[in-house]
A and B are shown apart, each in its own frame.
Chain A
Amino acid sequence: MDIAFSADELAFREEVRAFFDEQFDDELVGRLRSGDFKEAVVEWQQRLYKKGWIAANWPVEYGGTGWSPTQKYIYETERSERGIPGVIPFGVGMVGPMIYQFGTQEQKERFLPGILNSETWWCQGYSEPGSGSDLASLKTKAELDGDHYVINGAKIWTSYAQYADWIFVLVRTSNEGKKQEGITFILVDMKSEGIKVNPIISIDNEHSLNEVEFSDVRVPVTNVVGEINKGWTVAKALLAHERTGIADVAQSKRNIRLVKQAAAEEINGGKRLLDDPGFQARLADLEIELMALEFTELRTLAAMSAGGFPGPESSLLKIKGTELQQATQELRMETAAYYQGVLPNGMDPEVLGHSWTHEAFRNYMYGRAATIYGGSNEVQKNIIAKYVLGLE
């Protein structure tokens, strides 16, 4: 039982800091905020790739870092502290692990390099209009025609589909048995004929979400990952992966730091907001909860490095993590007072008022989705009740 960093770990932290300071430069920050978003993201991810740090969770044999849980923790903390975006999850975080875990040798050779070097942009075709958290109710169907599947249906809440080269899709290949049976996990080229992407503007006034329609889209049977009709196994494995990253304690710690910074400058009637005992009490409550969650996350990381796979316990991280994200985002909005309502609008933020409130608005508003996506928090509680506590 020991949390102190070893000399090697301290050296690793210095290496991470030096890399971020050098590579995540102001020019790139500017482009991520107001330039060509995709181009800037790809460039950043390629810098990580060249350093060998693109796939923190992959095994070394497939191009992963082989980092210990402590190294991952150090890396994530330093990254989030600087407000550096995480790697877009759909390739490296989601489809990549499914391909090296369930895919054929040919699929590994074909897809993993493009995922690692960010030349292929992936998106996720899971949820469907109306399906919500009941993922297994999916209706998008794939019918066999020779050596191809013909796909018809629609997927929704597809982040960054407008940029994507490929999409991984759960399709229904059989209506027999339970609804979880008869689902297949398949990879589809977004350039295929019959795919249409419809933008969805979200509550933060941004366009990251989409609906993706499939009309008679022909996909080679060789693009199926894992066994036909056994896609639910793949889907569940992927959701567990999705949940572990989702606590994002480092992001909440950063929010707290930014709230303190802003509250030190907010003056009400001659007094600093940061000195307000009511405000301090709220901050303290959030910090205390966050301290505990940080160690819950570390314990999960440690268990994963021993046993390999995150279990249903990872639902706890998702629930508490997203609750704290939202609470810290909310406190940041309250710190902004009237300025919380000023929309990012292309006008000089310094002319309009506080420059940081745009980020607070975006994070808070889009942050409302965190308790809904990746399996809603209600579903996560069902998972814990059933699989951890044994309640039926």
Chain B
Amino acid sequence: MNFEFSEEQQMVRDSIARFVQDDYDWDTRRAIVASDTGISDKAWQTFAELGWLSIPFAEEDGGFGGTIVDTMVIMEEIGKGLIVEPYLPSVLLFGGLVAGAGSEGQRSAWIPSLIDGSTSGAFAYLERQSRFEMTDCLTKAEASGDGWVLSGEKVIVFNGANCNQMVVLARTSGEQWDHDGLSLFIVPADADGLKRIDYPMMDGQRVANITFDNVALGADALLGEAGSAMATVEAVVREATIALMAEAVGCMGTLNAKTLEYTKTREQFGVAIGSFQSLQHRMVDTMMAYEQAKSLLYKVVCEYKQDPDSADASINALKVLVERNAKLVYSEATQMHGGMGITDELDIGHYAKRLMMINTTFGDARYHRAKYMDKAFAA
């Protein structure tokens, strides 16, 4: 047993932490979110130059060959710094799908450009009606000559506003909610018949609603086998969910640290508010909430590293625990910062909003609790 990080992992962690400290302070982050695109090309280039974009990809695809532990380390730091650049949608989702299902030609066409930052990717899976069920898919692709014609609408596509390529989940056979009959297509953002409506989410992410009006695609757009996308999607989303939970743990750690510092310095009634026993006990509760979330994250990462297919129940459990504990942490952080906690100016509320978005992404606690109960209590 060993919960230590390798030297390389510590170096990556330190380099992201240094980047946040030197080049991504709160004012910089505010300015990036308020800019036209809502992300910084300069920051993204730095990520590419420092090799962070290559870490999850296999060596044969030009990547670093990292494991889930490396991804966890990166995402936790991204959470601490509240980094808005699209590591999850571009590298882990788009990149994960191409790496997982792509032919050699598709991998060599897209992975090197993801690694050097010139391709910015997204995964268009969500539809208005689908809530947390990805198989609830009405977007259709029909065979036409050698290729395909894509029609339908995806909503709240992360990095949808800025990506230049996307993977689209579409139905090639079967009915709404069928697990089989779904396929993945690589679609350029400037394809004829594709329209985007861009808008910001509460956590600063720029997303898009994307409509496909008979978008013509070549045969090489199909990613993996037609009709059997869900196996790839589930594998990629599983890893992305762990990554998101690491980001959440990073956010929670920073919120706790900032709140603790505040309670030690903020004076009311002539003393630091941290001297009040009722607040001390609540600070202890938020500390324990963070440690518990981190522990379960480590369990999931260890299980997943041994066998990715064995970790599903633990991932459901982690999603439940992180939501519950994150709510406690951000509610207390907001409350203890008083009036300042509910201003747009202070970072506290922005960490809270990112945690809220993380909690709902890929299914909320209620959804995952039901999945967990199905697995844990099945007769």
- Find residues 326-353 in chain B having any chain A CB closer than 8 Å to their own CB: 327, 331, 334-335, 338-339, 341-345, 349, 352-353
Which residue of B133, B268, B353, B366 is within 8 Å of A269 (Cβ)?
A: B133
Q: Residue-by-residue, is B27-59 near A (CB-CB < 8 Å gives 1, otherwise 0)?
A: 000000000000000000000000000000000
Of the listed stretches B198-206, B215-223, B290-298, chain A binds B198-206
Which residues of chain A have C-beta atoms less than 8 A from B205's C-beta?
A: 341
- B334 with A361: CB separation less than 8 A: no
- A334 with B366: CB separation less than 8 A: yes
A279 at the binding interface (Cβ < 8 Å)? yes
User: What's the tally of chain B residues with a CB closer than 8 Å to chain A?
Assistant: 48
Of the listed stretches B88-96, B227-235, B250-258, B354-362, chain A binds B354-362
Q: A134-B268, A201-B345 are in contact. Are A340 and B360 (CB under 8 A)?
A: yes
Which residue of B177, B327, B344, B366 is within 8 Å of A202 (Cβ)?
A: B344
Interface size band for A: 35 or more
Closest to A278 in B: B366
Which residue of B201, B276, B334, B345 is within 8 Å of A341 (Cβ)?
A: B201
Which residue of B197, B201, B360, B367 is within 8 Å of A268 (Cβ)?
A: B367
Which residues of chain A have C-beta atoms less than 8 A from B76's C-beta?
A: none
- Find residues 101-136 in chain A having any chain B CB closer than 8 Å to their own CB: 127, 132-134
A303 at the binding interface (Cβ < 8 Å)? no
Q: A338-B156, A338-B361, A352-B209 are in contact. Are A368 and B201 (CB under 8 A)?
A: no
- A378 with B278: CB separation less than 8 A: yes
A203 at the binding interface (Cβ < 8 Å)? yes
Which residues of chain A have C-beta atoms less than 8 A from B364's C-beta?
A: 334, 337
Which residues of chain B have C-beta atoms less than 8 A from A205's C-beta?
A: 344
B19 at the binding interface (Cβ < 8 Å)? no
Which residues of chain B have C-beta atoms less than 8 A from A35's C-beta?
A: none
Which residues of chain A have C-beta atoms less than 8 A from B342's C-beta?
A: 202-203, 365-366, 368-369, 372
Q: A268-B133, A342-B156 are in contact. Are A203 and B349 (CB under 8 A)?
A: yes
- Find residues 372-392 in chain A having any chain B CB closer than 8 Å to their own CB: 372-373, 376-378, 381
Which residues of chain B have C-beta atoms less than 8 A from A132's C-beta?
A: 266, 268, 338-339
Of the listed stretches B5-13, B64-72, B123-131, B299-307, chain A binds B123-131
Closest to B199 in A: A345
B239 at the binding interface (Cβ < 8 Å)? no
A267 at the binding interface (Cβ < 8 Å)? yes
Question: Least Cβ distance of A171 to chain B in Å?
Answer: 20
Instruction: Report the separation of the CA atoms of residues A320 and B261 in the bound assembly, to the nearest whole angstrom.
Output: 29
Question: Least Cβ distance of B31 to chain A in Å?
Answer: 15
A315 at the binding interface (Cβ < 8 Å)? no
A90 at the binding interface (Cβ < 8 Å)? no
Which residues of chain B have C-beta atoms less than 8 A from A266's C-beta?
A: 131
- B338 with A338: CB separation less than 8 A: no
Which residues of chain A have C-beta atoms less than 8 A from B24's C-beta?
A: none
Instruction: Report the separation of the CA atoms of residues A203 and B136 in the bound assembly, to the nearest whole angstrom.
Output: 33
- A200 with B268: CB separation less than 8 A: no
A219 at the binding interface (Cβ < 8 Å)? no
Instruction: Report the separation of the CA atoms of residues A353 and B126 in the bound assembly, to the nearest whole angstrom.
Output: 12
- Find residues 272-318 in chain A having any chain B CB closer than 8 Å to their own CB: 273, 276, 278-279, 282
Instruction: Report the separation of the CA atoms of residues A338 and B269 in the bound assembly, to the nearest whole angstrom.
Output: 42
Q: A268-B133, A337-B131, A353-B128 are in contact. Are A361 and B338 (CB under 8 A)?
A: no
A3 at the binding interface (Cβ < 8 Å)? no
Which residue of A157, A201, A279, A340 is within 8 Å of B339 (Cβ)?
A: A157
Which residue of B126, B278, B335 is within 8 Å of A371 (Cβ)?
A: B335
B132 at the binding interface (Cβ < 8 Å)? yes
B196 at the binding interface (Cβ < 8 Å)? no
Which residues of chain B have C-beta atoms less than 8 A from A142's C-beta?
A: none
Q: A268-B133, A276-B370 are in contact. Are A133 and B199 (CB under 8 A)?
A: no
- B360 with A337: CB separation less than 8 A: yes
Instruction: Report the separation of the CA atoms of residues A252 and B338 in the bound assembly, to the nearest whole angstrom.
Output: 23
Instruction: Report the separation of the CA atoms of residues A345 and B202 in the bound assembly, to the nearest whole angstrom.
Output: 11
A324 at the binding interface (Cβ < 8 Å)? no
B279 at the binding interface (Cβ < 8 Å)? yes
- Find residues 189-212 in chain A having any chain B CB closer than 8 Å to their own CB: 200-203, 205, 209
Which residues of chain B have C-beta atoms less than 8 A from A127's C-beta?
A: 339
B155 at the binding interface (Cβ < 8 Å)? yes
Which residues of chain B have C-beta atoms less than 8 A from A276's C-beta?
A: 366, 370
Q: A268-B132, A338-B126 are in contact. Are A343 and B334 (CB under 8 A)?
A: no
Which residues of chain A have C-beta atoms less than 8 A from B360's C-beta?
A: 334, 337-338, 340-341
Closest to A367 in B: B342
Which residue of B156, B335, B356, B369 is within 8 Å of A278 (Cβ)?
A: B369
Closest to A347 in B: B199
Which residues of chain B have C-beta atoms less than 8 A from A353's C-beta?
A: 128, 155-156, 209
- A201 with B202: CB separation less than 8 A: no
Instruction: Report the separation of the CA atoms of residues A133 and B267 in the bound assembly, to the nearest whole angstrom.
Output: 11
Question: Least Cβ distance of A265 to chain B in Å?
Answer: 10
Q: Residue-by-residue, is B251-294 near A (CB-CB < 8 Å gives 1, otherwise 0)?
A: 00000000000000010110000001011000000000000000
A146 at the binding interface (Cβ < 8 Å)? no
Instruction: Report the separation of the CA atoms of residues A279 and B131 in the bound assembly, to the nearest whole angstrom.
Output: 15
- A342 with B268: CB separation less than 8 A: no
25 A/B residue pairs, CB under 8 Å, sorted by A: A157-B339, A200-B343, A201-B345, A203-B353, A268-B131, A268-B367, A269-B131, A269-B177, A278-B366, A278-B370, A337-B132, A338-B360, A341-B201, A341-B356, A341-B357, A342-B201, A347-B197, A353-B155, A361-B202, A365-B202, A365-B349, A368-B331, A369-B342, A372-B342, A378-B278
9 closest residue pairs by CB, A with B: A203-B349, A201-B344, A341-B201, A269-B133, A268-B131, A341-B202, A134-B268, A203-B342, A369-B342
A contact set with B: CB distance below 8 Å: 127, 132-134, 137, 156-157, 200-203, 205, 209, 266-270, 273, 276, 278-279, 282, 330, 333-334, 337-343, 345, 347, 351-353, 361, 365-366, 368-369, 371-373, 376-378, 381
* Known contacts A134-B268, A352-B197; 19 further A-B pairs (Cβ under 8 A): A132-B266, A200-B343, A203-B343, A267-B131, A268-B131, A268-B132, A269-B177, A276-B370, A333-B356, A337-B132, A339-B156, A341-B202, A341-B356, A342-B202, A343-B199, A345-B200, A352-B209, A353-B155, A381-B278
